[in-house]
Every structure is written in structure tokens, then in C-alpha cells.
Amino acid sequence: MTRPGRLRLATAAVLSASVLAACSGGGGDGNGGVGPIVKYERPGEQPSVAAPTAKDTVLGPDATPAPVASPEKPNLLMITMDDAAMKDMQFMPHLQEVIADEGVTIDQGLAPTPICVPARASLLTGQYARNHGAVTISGEGGGYKSFDDEDTMPVSLQKAGYDTMMVGKYLNGYTKNEVHHQPPGWTVWRPTVDFATYNFEHPQLLVDGRIKDYDTYSTTLLSDQSNQLIADHANGADGADGDKPWYLWVNYVAPHHGSPHESDDPDGISTTVPDKRDRDTFKDLDLDTTPEMFEKDPSDKALIRNARQKWSEKRRAGLREERQQRVEALQAVDRAIARTVDTLRRTGQLDNTYVVVTSDNGFYVGEHNLNGKLWYFRDAINIPMFIRGPGLPAGTTTQAPVTNADWAPTFAALAGATLDRDADGVDVMPWLDSDATRRVIPISGWPVKGGLDPFYTGVIVGPWTYVRGRKGRGELYYTKNDQYQLYNLYGDPRYKAVRKQLRDLWEQTRECAGATCPQTFMK
């Protein structure tokens, strides 16, 4: 297997020799050259900061990819949750048993623009939001109408001989007025429709061009539909071509907020709807007590000043209810994942199928005084990501950074397909069993109600997060020793060299496209 390409940047944005020199040296600290910059003994105390030395770097030496042996034309299954956070995964034992224990847990799964539409469009195209154009959920640049659905990954997979199937949530704004248009590239097209997407007890699906109403709990319905499609392919039933490989994208709506509302739902806080069998099963679950929860002094985080909220005891109780219902709603998804793996096993397809389980973005439930998604702290950007399949080491965890823009080129490579768009992401299969720990990842966020001017851009490089706002305000975090991102190091003069390295990378990558986006994985 050839080694993935070196970091390639546009002619107007070539890494300077001085930055490369500063970033390629190896330190003796065991952290890829990054010394112990920030230390603190207990939550809430001021950090003890050691000034960077000449050996401190942002980047590290190139990592070594692992050889990958995969079957020809495997089946490809993508299971997507909506707004599921990393910390929610501890409550999904079936996911652990049938996916994580049998495959690879990707600790650094990242959503460069952590909100619904941009993240899902990245899964379809292999491009960052800036390049696929659907940068937010509504308004200018937002929603289904802003997405060019020509030349997506499913189109390429069809050309490579695949049946392609989609069940569940598509993109915000796919309404009853849009159902006359089936995006190209789909052999089977069964999306949820309009605001019924978020009606957990009375969802609607578009089936064979007609909107159908159901009285089945949403997660159960989508599980029924997807498992039937998998079984039909094995049996050659209901028009399925049993000789063709397939790609299936299952989009569960949980734990996104929705309806119908219950009488005990908290005021002013949006909640999801668990399956009736799961309601109140986590009624004793409390909020986390980690130090970023209801952060006492967020004054160094100017970029989120207008987004953070004040949390009275009553409102905190509402957040507890929201957290409980989110975890309860994920129980049905957890069972659905186990059921799907069982269907693959019973139909003899499991050994020839790659299964990816992920979320479009993470979620804040009080962290940094936020409730929602989109912002650049790890609670929203660091997303659940797991894969099992032939040739992958079972029960392992990788530190290789993987974004939602990487799955289109990865699936295309597995399928022997050629993407019709220039992907910003890369085929990650060689890196899942490698020594990689870092990579330059551009991040960005746009206004929820529309607008083409991002309100933040930045880069993540391993433990470093560097962010710039519209007015030049900046934030800098080092999660190796400040995992809760409590301390903004941007203004500390002792970080001048590190800040310059990251600023250079930010300037050189914020408008990257295709092969000019960072390709290198590093130790």
C-alpha cells in the first residue's frame, strides 16, 4: 500500500520553512514533542504554566500507516445518531459489545462544523462545510436547499456497482414541498419528512415516492426498515439484487429533541422523547460534576459571551431532566444497533460488512454554561465514532484523528469507487491501526439562522485547539493537561511561539480545498 500523501497546501498558502522547522523536531517528553505546558492539581485552581522550550512543537514526526487488507466490494453500513455526545456512550452496552469490542473505537472522532446539516453533508461529500456550501441549518447557506446533492458519494458507489439505501433523517429543510425531488445516487430512498422527523411517536417516511404515516416509535420504525432492507438483500427479496454489494445509511433521530411533549418536561429547555419502555429508567442520573460544568469564571472565553447562559437551581434541574431523557432515548438506538448486527450475522453478511457508528455532532448540557452544539469545545466537536469490519483489530482504540469528512473517501476506497468531487477528507483505513495521534483539522462555525460569514474559524492539532473570532479575538487550549478547556492561553506571552505556529496553520488551511487540505497524520 502506498503511503498517504504529505501535507499539501495551496500555492498561496505554503507552510513556511520556519514553521516546518519548528514543528518537525522531536522532543523527549513522550508527547510528540509537546512539553508539559499547563498543569493544575484540582478543579478550579489557577494553572501552573511552564513556558514552552525550543523542543515544544505543535506538529510531530510523520506517523506510519498500517497495511490494510479488505475484501473486494464489501458492504458498507453507516449508522448515524443525532446530537449524541461522547459521554453518552457509556450508557450503551450493546454498542460496546457488538461494535467497540469487535472493532475500533476512534477516540479523536471530530466534527469540524458541529451541527446537523454541515456535518451530514460532509458525510455525503467528503468535504468540509466551506466547500460543500451547506454551512448551517437554515437561512442563507443553510439546510437542504443550500446543498448541491449532485455528485455525492452514493452516486459514486452506484457507478461502482453498489445498491445504495437511505433510511431516516436527511437534511433540515427536506419538507413536503421537496419530496418530489429524490437526490441522485439512491437505489432506495426512505427519508423522514418535514417536522414529522422530530415526532418520535408519529413519524412520517417517504416510501416509493409517497408519504406514509406511522404510529411506531421513530427508532423502532427506522430499525424495522433498515433491518428489512438488509435481509432483503441477502434473500434477493422485494426487488433487491442479492448479487450486488450495498451501502446503507441509517439516520436515527435520537437523542435530538422532539415531540410529543410530556407534562413534566422542563420549561425553556428542549427535550427528546424516549421509547415508553425506557422512560424514567435513568431518573436518578445526575449531571456531571466535572469542572467545565457551569464554569464559574468564563471571562477568558469572549467568543461565547452571548451564547452562554445563567443556570439557576430550577434550570439546572431542567438540564438534569434533559440529560436523563437523552440517555433514555439512546437505549432504543442501542438495542437497534445490536439487532442490526444480529441481522447481518443471521443473513451471513457480517463478515463482509464494515459498520460505522457515529453522530453528526456532540452536545452541551451545561458544559461551559452552554446548552446545544456548534461551539468549538470538545464536548460538541469530539464525536462518538466506532468501526468494525473485516481485517480490523478487535477491541482496540485509536488516537488517529478522524473527521466526518473522511468517511466518503474511506468508503469510496473500500468500494473501489472514485469520488466525483475533490474530497477534503482522506481514506482513514491505513491509520486505524497506526501510531498516528495528530493531524491539522480546520474547524469553523456559522450562524444558525443563516449567513456565509463564519463567526469562528480555527484548527485542532492533537491536544491543541486554536480559534479566532470575527473581530480577531482568539482562544487557545491545550487538552493534554487541561482536558476540560478551562484555561484560555491565547494571551499568555509565554505561548507566543506556539500561538504563531497555530496561527500560521490556521491561515494556510482555512480556505483549503481537496488536496490542498492537510493530508498528513503525525505521531
| 404 torsion bin: left (phi>0), alpha (psi -120 to 50), beta (else) | alpha
499, pLDDT greater than 70: yes
Has residue 402 been placed in a domain? yes
Tens digit of each residue's pLDDT (9 = 90 or more) over 433-444: 999 999 999 999
pTM (predicted TM-score): 0.90
Looking at 383, 409, 428, which one is the last position of a domain?
Answer: 428
How big, in percent rounded to 5, are the helix, strand and coil portions of the chain? 30, 20, 55
- Biggest alpha carbon–alpha carbon distance for the chain: 67
- Name the average pLDDT for the chain: 89
Count of structural domains within the chain: 2
Q: Are residues 31 and 93 in the same domain?
A: no
Q: Could you give the strand order of the β-sheet that contains 163-168, starting from the edge strand earlier in sequence?
A: 188-191, 163-168, 246-251, 75-81, 353-359, 385-388, 104-106, 396-398
Between 176 and 286, residue with greater pLDDT? 286
* pLDDT value of position 362: 98
At residue 11 the predicted structure's pLDDT band, cuts being 50, 70 and 90, is: very low
Q: Which residues contact 90 (CB under 8 A, 6 or more apart)?
A: none
Average pLDDT over residues 475-479: 96
Q: Are residues 464 and 389 in the same domain?
A: no
Q: Are residues 176 and 142 in the same domain?
A: yes
* pLDDT value of position 272: 98
Q: Are residues 34 and 141 in the same domain?
A: no
237, pLDDT greater than 60: yes
Tens digit of each residue's pLDDT (9 = 90 or more) over 99-108: 999 999 999 9
The answer to whether the CB of 250 falls within 8 A of the CB of 229 is: no
Q: Are residues 251 and 385 in the same domain?
A: yes
Has residue 84 been placed in a domain? yes
Distance CA 356, CA 456 (A): 29
Q: Are residues 342 and 226 in the same domain?
A: yes
* pLDDT value of position 273: 98
Q: Are residues 16 and 118 in the same domain?
A: no
Has residue 284 been placed in a domain? no
13, pLDDT greater than 50: no
Tens digit of each residue's pLDDT (9 = 90 or more) over 320-334: 999 999 999 999 999
The answer to whether the CB of 242 falls within 8 A of the CB of 235 is: yes
10, pLDDT greater than 50: no
Has residue 17 been placed in a domain? yes
Range of the domain at 133: 75-278+321-428
Q: Are residues 423 and 477 in the same domain?
A: no
Distance CA 51, CA 361 (A): 34
403, pLDDT greater than 90: yes
36, pLDDT greater than 80: no
Between 472 and 457, residue with greater pLDDT? 457
1, pLDDT greater than 80: no
Has residue 449 been placed in a domain? no
Q: Are residues 346 and 459 in the same domain?
A: no
Has residue 285 been placed in a domain? no
Q: Are residues 410 and 470 in the same domain?
A: no
The answer to whether the CB of 202 falls within 8 A of the CB of 196 is: yes
Residue tagged 466535572 (cell numbers): 290
* pLDDT value of position 56: 52
Q: Are residues 59 and 79 in the same domain?
A: no
CATH of the domain at 357: 3.40.720.10
Q: Are residues 100 and 249 in the same domain?
A: yes
